[in-house]
C-alpha cells in the first residue's frame, strides 16, 4: 500500500469545498465510490460536487444522487479548495487533467497497483478489490459516517462492478463482509445486479452479437480476442463504457489464460483491454504500451490503426506467455511476483 487512509482523512479535514472525480470511461466502482464519498462529505458539513470526465450513461440512473453529478464540459466554472481523484491517477481524468494540474491540492484514493501515488495525500491499496472498499473503510472507520441506504447502494454497486459480481479472484472475505454489511444497510443485490447487467437496449445486445462474431483464438488455445470496430459500435456509448462485458466472452473459454478486447476508438487509436489468469500479468503487458491496471485486469491505448495495434499487442503477448512459461520451468514464480 502506498500512502494511507489516515493521511487522506487528515487532508480532507483541512478543506471545505471539494471536486470529486474519477477516470474517463467511468465504471460502477468509480461512480459509486464518488457518489458515496460526496454524501459522506455532506454529512460532515462539507460541500462536494461530482464531475465525471465523461457523461454517464443512463444505466447509472438508479444510483442515488447521480442526478446531481455533472459531466465535464470545456469552459466549465471550476472553483474548489481541493480535488479528490478516485480509482485512477489524476492524469486519467480526461478534460479535467488541466484543472487538476493547475496547483489545486489533490487527494487520490485508488486500488490500481500501477498508480504510484501523487498529490497532497493519497492511499493506493492494490489489495482492495475496489476503490469502493477503501471509501467504505474511510466512512466507517475514520469518520463514523451514517451508512444510509443511498451510500450502501452506491458502495455495493462499486464492489459488484469491480469483482464481476463477486466472481473474480480479487473477491476476498473482507469484500463479502463489507457487501453483507451494505445489504444490512439497505443495498438490494438483485436490484443492483439487474440495473448493472440486465438493463440493456436490444441494439446493444445486438452489437455484442456482432462483436462475438469476431472471436479468434491462438493456435495453442491460450489467448483469445474479440475486435470491435467503429463501424460496429457506432455511437453506442454502452459499448464505449462496457468493454468489460465484451471481454468476458473470450474469457469464458476453458483453455484461455489471456482474453483481449480490441476496440477501434479512432482511425489511429486502438484500445486493448486484458483479462488474465494463471500467473499472466496483464498489467505488465498493458504497461509495455503505456497502460496499466491490475495483474488480472488491465488496459492500454495504442496510437496506431486497429490491425497494426492488434498485431503489436499479440506479438508482445506471445513473448510474455513464453517468459511466464520459462519462469515456471525454472521453478521460479516470476510472473506471479512481478
Q: Which residues contact Mn ion by CB under 5 A?
A: 29, 87, 131, 162
* Residue 335 C-beta: closest distance to Mn ion, Å: 23
Nearer to Mn ion, 263 or 294 (CB): 294
DSSP H or E segment with residue 33? helix 28-43
Q: Is 278 left (phi over 0), alpha (psi -120 to 50) or beta?
A: left
Sheet strand arrangement including 292-293 = 216-217, 223-228, 258-266, 269-276, 297-302, 292-293
* Residue 162 C-beta: closest distance to Mn ion, Å: 4
Distance CA 112, CA 291 (A): 12
Nearer to Mn ion, 87 or 245 (CB): 87
Nearer to Mn ion, 106 or 109 (CB): 109
Nearer to Mn ion, 2 or 10 (CB): 2
Residue 218 phi, psi dihedral angles, 5° rounding: -70, 160
* Residue 81 C-beta: closest distance to Mn ion, Å: 26
* Residue 159 C-beta: closest distance to Mn ion, Å: 10
Query: At what angle are helices 189-197 and 149-162 packed, to 10 degrees?
Result: 50
Nearer to Mn ion, 29 or 89 (CB): 29
* Residue 161 C-beta: closest distance to Mn ion, Å: 8
- List of residues 6+ apart from 42 with CB closer than 8 A: 48
* Residue 87 C-beta: closest distance to Mn ion, Å: 4
Do 98 and 36 form a contact (C-beta atoms < 8 A)? no
CB closest to Mn ion, residue no: 29
DSSP H or E segment with residue 147? none
CA-CA distances (angstroms) from residue 180 to 64, 133, 333? 19, 12, 35
Nearer to Mn ion, 19 or 86 (CB): 86
Amino acid at each position: 500500500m502506498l500512502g494511507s487512509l489516515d493521511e487522506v482523512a487528515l487532508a480532507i479535514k483541512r478543506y471545505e469545498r471539494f471536486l470529486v472525480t474519477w477516470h474517463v470511461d467511468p465504471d460502477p466502482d468509480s461512480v459509486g465510490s464518488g457518489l458515496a464519498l460526496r454524501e459522506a462529505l455532506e454529512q460532515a458539513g462539507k460541500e462536494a460536487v461530482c464531475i465525471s470526465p465523461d457523461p454517464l450513461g443512463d444505466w447509472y440512473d438508479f444510483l442515488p444522487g447521480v442526478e446531481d453529478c455533472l459531466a465535464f464540459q470545456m469552459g466549465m466554472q471550476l472553483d474548489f479548495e481541493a480535488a479528490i481523484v478516485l480509482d485512477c491517477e489524476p492524469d486519467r481524468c480526461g478534460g479535467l487533467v488541466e484543472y487538476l494540474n493547475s496547483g489545486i491540492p489533490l487527494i487520490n484514493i485508488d486500488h490500481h497497483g500501477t498508480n504510484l501515488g501523487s498529490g497532497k495525500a493519497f492511499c493506493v491499496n492494490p489489495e482492495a478489490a475496489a476503490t469502493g472498499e477503501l471509501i467504505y473503510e474511510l466512512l466507517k472507520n475514520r469518520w463514523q459516517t451514517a451508512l444510509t441506504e443511498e451510500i450502501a447502494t452506491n458502495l455495493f454497486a462499486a464492489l459488484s462492478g469491480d469483482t464481476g459480481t463477486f466472481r473474480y479472484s480479487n473477491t476476498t472475505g473482507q469484500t463479502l463482509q463489507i457487501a453483507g454489511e451494505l445489504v444490512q444497510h439497505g443495498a438490494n443485490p438483485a436490484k443492483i445486479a439487474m440495473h448493472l447487467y440486465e438493463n440493456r437496449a436490444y441494439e446493444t445486445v445486438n452489437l455484442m452479437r456482432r462483436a462475438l462474431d469476431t472471436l479468434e483464438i491462438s493456435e495453442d488455445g491460450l489467448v483469445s480476442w474479440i475486435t470491435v470496430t467503429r463501424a460496429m459500435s457506432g455511437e453506442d456509448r454502452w459499448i464505449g463504457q462496457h468493454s468489460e462485458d465484451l471481454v468476458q466472452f473470450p474469457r469464458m473459454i476453458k483453455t484461455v489464460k489471456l482474453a483481449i478486447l480490441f476496440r477501434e476508438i479512432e482511425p489511429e487509436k486502438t484500445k486493448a483491454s486484458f483479462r488474465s489468469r494463471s500467473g499472466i500479468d496483464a498489467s505488465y503487458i498493458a504497461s509495455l504500451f503505456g497502460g496499466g491496471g491490475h495483474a488480472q485486469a488491465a488496459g492500454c491505448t495504442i496510437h496506431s490503426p486497429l490491425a497494426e495495434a492488434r498485431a503489436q499487442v499479440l506479438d508482445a503477448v506471445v513473448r510474455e506467455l513464453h517468459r511466464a512459461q520459462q519462469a515456471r520451468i525454472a521453478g521460479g514464480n516470476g510472473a506471479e511476483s512481478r
